[in-house]
Amino acid sequence: MATIETLLNSADLPDSPTPRLDAELLLAAALGKPRSYLRTWPERELDGEQLASFLANLQRRRQGEPVAYILGHQGFWSLDLEVAPHTLIPRPDTELLVEAALELLPATPLAALDLGTGTGAIALALACERPAWQVTGVDRVEEAVALAERNRQRLKLDNARFVRSHWFSALAGQRYGLILSNPPYIRADDQHLDQGDVRFEPSSALVAGRDGLDDIRAIIRAAPQHLLAGGWLLLEHGFDQAEDVRSLLRDGGFAEVASRRDLGGHERISLGRFDRE
The predicted-structure confidence for 77-128, as pLDDT tens digits, reads as follows: 999 999 998 888 898 899 999 999 999 999 999 999 999 999 999 999 999 9
Contact at 8 Å (CB) between 117 and 183? no
Fold classification of 77-274 is Rossmann fold (3.40.50)
Q: Give the distance between the most distant pair of CA atoms in the chain.
A: 73
The predicted-structure confidence for 176-229, as pLDDT tens digits, reads as follows: 999 999 998 766 655 554 455 555 445 555 555 577 788 999 999 999 999 999
> If you count DSSP H runs as helices and E runs as strands, how many of each does the chain have, helices first?
10, 9
Question: 45 in helix, strand or coil?
Answer: strand
Q: What is the pLDDT of residue 86?
A: 83
- pTM (predicted TM-score): 0.88
Percent of the chain, pLDDT > 70? 90
Identify each DSSP E strand in the chain by its residue range: 73-76, 79-82, 110-115, 133-139, 160-164, 176-181, 227-236, 254-261, 267-274
Q: What is the pLDDT of residue 200?
A: 47
Let me know how long the chain is. 277
Domain boundaries, the chain: 4-64, 77-274
